[in-house]
Each structure stands twice: as C-alpha cells, then as structure tokens.
A and B are shown apart, each in its own frame.
Chain A
C-alpha cells in the first residue's frame, strides 16, 4: 500500500459512494424528471403466442391527457430498426445463427407474455395506464411452447419463419475425434443429466428510460439504467435510428444493480427515444416489478447431458456435453455468445482433461428473452464440470478433494493451453483448495455428519473448484469468434490545476464500488489521497468512448486503462519536474507523489508539477501545457480467476428444509485493490448462487405459456436468513498480463456456489436432483436415505 496516502492498493477503504446511497441521496434514473415530461405505458401481450388481428386505439386516443398512442406500425413507418444481437455465432453447418426480426413493438405477432403491443403517451403515468386499458386488441391465440426440449419436437409451434424448427443455431466446439478416443479407452464413464434453471435477475432498481429531444441542437438524450451507456448509444445510432453519434447522448446515472440485465438495448429505450423525437417532449417509462419479471432478460435455462471419461485411477480422459439453451422469444443483445463461447470454452475447469467436445442447440420458445446474467455461461460450465467431477468421485468411491487434486493443472504448467481454445494465464489451484479444506475442517466432517445423524438430520459436504474467464476481452479474439464489437476500455485522467484529479472511465459502476477502488488505483499510482480523486462515469458526453461493465472486466480492463493514463502523466511529469529541478529527465524518479532527482535531495511534489503544467511560466519549450492523458487498453488475454468453495449443509428429512451450516470460499483474484469490496462481491455472488441452487427458478405454465413466477410471492429471492456466515479466504496469484495483476471478482460467487451447494445437498441425500432444491424436492429425495439409515 502507498505509505503516503494510506488509501492506495490493498487498503480496505470504506466506499466513498455509500454515503449518498445509504442516506437515500443517490440520483437514479427515476429521480430524473425533465420539464414537460410525458409518461409512457406499454400495452403488453397477455398471451404467450398470438396473432394480432387488430388494435383499436380510438378510445385511448380520445382520453383526456393522452398525447399519443402508437403501435408497431408507426415505428415501422418511421423505419425504426428492430432490436439487434451483437454477436454472430456460426453453426456446425457453417451458417450464421438465425436472428429473426425483433421489432420494439410487435407488428403482427406477440411471441411471449409481456411482448410490447402498443404504447400510450400521456401527461401522467396514471392517465397513460387508464388509457392503455381502453385499447382493444383482437388476438388470435396460438398454442405456445415454453420448454427448450419441447420446442425442438417436429410438431412444436413455430415462432419465426426465419428459424425453422425454432432453432437459432446448432453449434459445436472442441475436438470430437480425440474426445471419442478418450471415451473409447476409459475405465469409467460418468453420465449426468442436468437442468440449469432459468433465473430472473431482479436488480433492486427496475429499469427506467427517458427520451428527451432538443430541437435547437437536434440532439436526443436517453437517460437509462444502463451498464454500458456507450454501447447503448452505438446500438441506438447505428442500428435503430441511423443517427450520427454526436446527436445522441446516453446518461446512465446511479444504477441500482444490473447483474447483466442492464447491458442490453431494450424496446422501451427505443420507444422513449423515438417518441420524444416525434412529439418533441421528454418521454419517460419506469418499469414496475411485474414488468421487470416479464421483460428484463432472464438468465441460464439449459438442459444438458454430460459425460466424463476417466482412467482406472480417476484421471480425466475426456469430457463431452450436449446442451439445449433456451433463448426465449427473440435473440437479445448478446444472447448468442452466452451458451456458446462463454460456456464451452470453460469446460476444462481447473483440470488437465485433454479432450473436450461440446455441442449446443440454441432454441426459441414463447418466453422472455434470455441473455447474460451474473457469470453468463461460466456458471453453467462450472456447474457441468463440478457436478460431473463430484458424481465421478462418488461412483469411483474416491474422496472428492483427492479426485480434483489428481487432475488439477499444476502451478508450473502456466500459461496452460486448454483443449477448448483458451490459455489460462496463471493459477495455484491446489493452494486454494488446501486452504479451503483447512478452513472448513474437512477432517472433522465425518464426526459432524455422525452428530447430525444422531439428531435425525442428514449432513452433506460439496465442493466447487471453479474457473472463470474474466477481463473481457481481447478484441481480436472475440472478433474472430463473432463479436460485433471490440472489448477494450478507455480512461482519461485529468489533474485539475490545484492538484485534484478527475478520472473519466468507460466502465460503469452499478454497485461495484468503482468510485472507491478506481480512486485507490490512482491514489497508489499518483500519490494523491482519494478524497482528491473523483471517478466520472455513465455519461457519453463526459467520458471517452467505453465499453461498459460486465464479465468482471472493469478493473482488469478499465483499471488497466487508468494505469496506462497515469503512466503517461508520470512520464510527462518527469519532463516538467526535470525542467523545474534543472536535471536530466532520465535522472528523475517518481514515487509516492514526489518527483526526485536520483541520488540527490532535490524533489518537487506532483501538485507543483501539475500547477506548472497549467501555469507554464517556467516550462519546457517543446512540451504541451496541461496535465491530462487518455488511454485505451485492449487486454492480451482473458484473466482466469479460480478458487474452491465448499458448502456444508444439514437436511431435515422430515420437512425437506436445508440449512447451510458452513460456507468456505477461497478465491484467487490475483492482486486485490480493496479487500473489503472484494469480500462484498464474493458475499453477493454466493448469495445469488445459493438463490439459484435452492430458491430461485422461473416457472412457466406449459399449456398456456403464462409466467407463474411473476412476483416475489412466487419467485423466491434469497433472504438474509437463507444464507450462512461466509468464511472468505483468498490466495493471490497475480495476473501476468495486465499492469495491476488483477483478475476480477464480480461473478465468482455466482459461478462457484450452485455447484458447491448442489454437491453438498446431493451428498446429504444420496441421490442426484436438479436445481432449485426446493423443500418438497429435497423431502422426496431424502426418503431413500432415511430408509437406508433406518435399516442400518
């Protein structure tokens, strides 16, 4: 840590932003109200699949206070582009995925409950909603299909003419021949069918969009709850409206959580922007929680068959899996890459498995679109690998820790080229696991299990030795895989004349704590206390073009851009300092905020150098004034955080209630900027993973396609009392290819937790069950074990 400031790298500084959040003084998008603002209410399809025969808007239009009513026809007439998918996945047959038209308001067909059918714009929200209820839509209701397996059946309802058989893509990855060879020589083959349950993201703040058009400058502003304002601007300009980017500004102020669901460009943003331009008035839409359940992109929803081949000693020979991934009714912004590249490339896990083959069918159903959700593909991959490994240990009667250690990639094998394209940067997997085993008192487990059984309880322990690919991503690599964007990040570091610092980042903070951790990075680099450093993000008019926050990328990519900009400032500062001290530039060193002439007691503080740059009365003749630098950073590789989580549970076989008795997480995120913030990220991620494993699950009625989990009355969000105390440890294997040596921590908990918890619960039960492990499911599964114990 920087000794001068005490607020540099490694310090558990309290989050600067929390004062305004905790005291209710944040400025969220819904807190923004523009003069003359109108309100939008969307009429949504009550049917999962229906032809729209006619829409009668007359009564709504005639209502007092209603300014306009629009349907998809008006958007089409104005040539408003449909929503896009920004990543093209190429299938086995060499053809690109099917991305059927996705109009912001349905034209002639509604394909899921909640699909936009019309919008009412009125002077108040209530008037808009009242008028919306007066719109009469004549539907021809069609049979819907919601299940990803059912939708592939020959007689299934067909969603899109452009996607025959409801197939978006049929994709494969890895070497089939070498994988088959691995299975051919296997002593053991472990097979497992898994469902990765569909999740509703439920950030605390629902989505909001405001469009505001300024006739004087012909500029439109979109205030939005976005994780990546520049990406949203790019889509709105280049694909939806055909506008030059300088005529559109996107502002994403304080954002109350996203978990991926606020990456995407949604219909409501398109409609509010378009309507504000059409009506020359600001137009605002605020989602309520019911709309959030229906329209925020969901996560996961895989059906998988997986197999692991092992030799007689438990060494992994090959892994293959076949997955059907539900895309929902339309292809969302980055949906296609989630169950393909973000999934199959992680199937090596922490292991030396030499051959891997995966095939994925992405399918359309009459459900809300599915896209990236905390972890995005990587939790699904870890779930496949770590459930398979655990079951393999059970079937081979091996210790689950030992079978993993036997197959770990050794610490001296890095960089390690996996058989699924990616090359891991660094790792010490056994170190993390040993630490976790110690923390959980693995040796004492048998005793604890016996003690539980005495009380009629079933105890289980479960492991997840996870890996993820973060720091997304090297632009050339993702480009070669079909991405339509580069995934570098930008930063601008501006010293103000009196020495305070404004840092402009293309990353976006919606709960991650960037205002603190990024300031710590600058504090460390430049020797300035963090009180003097302001982190600016979330406004395309203020920040350089940036790619936003997702995929645990902000620090590894965005933070590295900040470091690059700081290094440029230090280099310039040395020239100024050399001039002031009448020394050679090469003799000037910079440390902890002081420029010094090596081997002398001559020094000038950075504040003086900065002031001199703005008041260049005594200044190098060939140097530009000013103390501000920009940098763009494109990573050379992904980062590969990894670690071991161990869950220990006690199951009450009488009621099916599961108590999480212990949770040990030992993560390796490389270097850590703020341990307290990182621990918080682990806690939150584990909470979401526990939610997926035991509590959450989107349920649709198969016959009608209705969403049955449309509110918190039926969708089980994790609560504090569902969660244990988290015992968090860390190992630190720095990332070798970025200047901070950091790997990213935002998604790890959500990636590790489902597998660890399901391994623990199924260990207690003695049978395999799917997520979510609800009380009834656990109770039913427990009865065999109860009988077995009684017979003993």
Chain B
C-alpha cells in the first residue's frame, strides 16, 4: 500500500473534525473492503480516520418494535446477539452468513452499508426490513439510501451512526454464494412487515432493490406457490464469469421461493 497518515479519534465529533480536515482521507471501520483495496494500491488516501473503536457507534438495543444497531457493531456481534436472534432471527442469520469467522469479527454493519458493494448482504436486510439509516446529519429511509453500485445517499464526510430495524411479523433470507468469493451472488430477503410485504434482492443487480412483482404476489397470499412461477427479467442484472444475468434472474425466483418457505409461507 501507499503511505498514509493514521488517525484514531476518541469521539465521533473528533472523527467528523478529522474527516472535514482531510478531504482526501478515508474513514476506516472494519477495513474489510478498504484494506484489501489499499494493499492492491487501488486507492491512495492521504489519511485514514479509524472509527472502528468508537464506543458511540457500538451496541444493540431493542425497544418496543425496533432493533437499533450501532454502525460500528461487528457482523459477529449481530449474529451472536440474543436480542437480535429473538427479535429478528432472519437478521442474525444473515449476519452469520457474511464471510467467515475472521471477517465477522472485524467487519461492521456501517462499513458494509456505506460501501454498498453489490455483493453485500446488509443492503438486502435494510431494504427487506424497511430499516432507517441514521447518520451524523440525518435519518435516511432504506428505500432512499441505496443509490447504485458502490453508491449511497451519504454526503461527503457523513458517517452512519446506527441502523434502526422495525421488527417484522416474519422474515427470512436466502443466499446463493459466488463459488469463489463466497459473497452473495443472489440473495433474497423476504419480510412481512407492519407496512406490508417487502422482498429485497441483493447480489444480482448493481445494488439491492425491491422486487415489486414478488411483493404483490405475496401480498395476495404469503406462500411459496405465489412466487414459484414468477419470472424475473434478466435485464440490468450483473453478469460475470460465475453467473450470467439469465442465471441470476433464475436464482432470484429460487432464492425468493426458499426465503418464503423459510419465513413459514
């Protein structure tokens, strides 16, 4: 990697000051995307501002029908949390499917969402559950947060502080992995929420998105039979040496069907 200055702020306010001070700096959380990028010399930030240790960004709380998870919470902490397992078991199960144990003990929810890798799992969860992303500036609905491949609604220097998930009536996540990277190639997060059925697809397109046809069909009847005959278009889906757009489109139906079954439909 190229040389950079390393900063470890003691508070979120200090972190924001540093971010403002170094326009060509980067925020480091768990580092699971940034560090490999640096190692391959694909990025050259002047400064790294390490928010990984900030207590303000940690913690999981459940109050009423909302699960609130600090942006600095590691995947493993979400996966192992008795509170999350009880309130939204599908979210804990999703976290348990991210990477391997080492990755889960380092990578953070905020880092994953801010990066918005098309092959990340959490974007599917926030969209599928209709979560709200809180930042140093505002609260952003999941439907407004994900903008495109590696693109979010975050402004320069805006830091995710926590994510609030409404507890659904039932939900499940099904993931088909890329055989090489084990990242999600097609994931379907299906939830029956207070505001209706939500079906989020991640891994298949440039960014996670909701599948309206499936939501409509499941809204009529929450059952495997409602979605198993649905045909998803391959237009606009990702294609690479591991899976064509056509195969991804097919897997969307398969994974959605399995998620519905997993949620008891």
A→B interface (CB under 8 Å): 126, 129-130, 133, 290, 654-657, 695, 699, 708-709, 712-717, 719, 774-776, 779-780
Contacts and interface: CB of A to CB of B under 8 A. Distances in A.
Contacts of B251: 655
A657 B40 CA distance: 32
Interface in B13-67: 40-41
Contacts of B3: 126
Nearest to A776: B247
Given A290-B40, A779-B247, 9 more contacts: A655-B254, A699-B241, A712-B180, A712-B181, A713-B181, A714-B241, A774-B179, A775-B179, A780-B247
A716 B254 contact: no
Contacts of A133: 41
Contact of B181 (A290, A714, A780): A714
Given A654-B254, A655-B251, A655-B254, A776 B180 contact: no
Nearest to B255: A655
Nearest to A701: B241
A655 B181 contact: no
B229 to A, nearest CB: 13
In order of increasing CB-CB distance, the 10 nearest A-B pairs are A716-B180, A776-B247, A713-B181, A716-B179, A654-B254, A714-B180, A699-B241, A776-B243, A655-B254, A708-B241
Contacts of A655: 176, 251, 254
Interface of B: 2-3, 40-41, 176, 179-182, 240-244, 247, 250-251, 254
A774 B179 CA distance: 8
A89 to B, nearest CB: 33
Contacts of B247: 656, 775-776, 779-780
B180 A713 contact: yes
A92 to B, nearest CB: 37
14 contacts: A133-B41, A708-B241, A712-B180, A713-B181, A714-B241, A714-B242, A715-B180, A774-B242, A775-B179, A775-B243, A775-B247, A776-B243, A776-B244, A780-B247
B254 A776 contact: no
Nearest to B257: A654
A708 B3 CA distance: 28
A719 B182 CA distance: 10
Contacts of A780: 247
A774 B177 CA distance: 12
Contacts of A779: 247, 250
A715 B179 CA distance: 9
B40 A695 contact: no
A63 to B, nearest CB: 14
A290 B41 CA distance: 12
A695 B241 contact: no
Contacts of A709: 180, 241
A716 B41 CA distance: 23
Could you say which of B40, B180, B242, B244 has the most chain A C-beta atoms within 10 Å of its C-beta?
B180
A713 B242 CA distance: 11
A709 B240 CA distance: 11
A782 to B, nearest CB: 11
Nearest to A695: B179
Contacts, number: 44
A56 B250 CA distance: 52
Nearest to B40: A290
A709 B178 CA distance: 13
A209 to B, nearest CB: 22
Nearest to A694: B179
Nearest to B100: A719
Nearest to B243: A776
A380 to B, nearest CB: 23
Contacts of A712: 180-181
B103 to A, nearest CB: 13
Nearest to B180: A716
A656 B247 CA distance: 10
Contacts of A775: 176, 179, 243, 247
A717 B181 CA distance: 9
B240 to A, nearest CB: 8
Contacts of A656: 247
A119 B225 CA distance: 63
A699 B251 CA distance: 23
Nearest to A708: B241
Nearest to A654: B254
A18 B179 CA distance: 31
B39 to A, nearest CB: 9
B179 to A, nearest CB: 5
A4 B240 CA distance: 62
A656 B186 CA distance: 13
A129 B244 CA distance: 37
A695 B181 CA distance: 12
B2 to A, nearest CB: 8
Could you say which of B176, B179, B243, B251 has the most chain A C-beta atoms within 10 Å of its C-beta?
B179
Contacts of B240: 714
Contacts of B181: 712-714
A779 B41 CA distance: 38
A505 to B, nearest CB: 38
Contacts of B242: 714, 774, 776
A712 B181 CA distance: 6
Contacts of B41: 129, 133
Contacts of A714: 180-181, 240-242
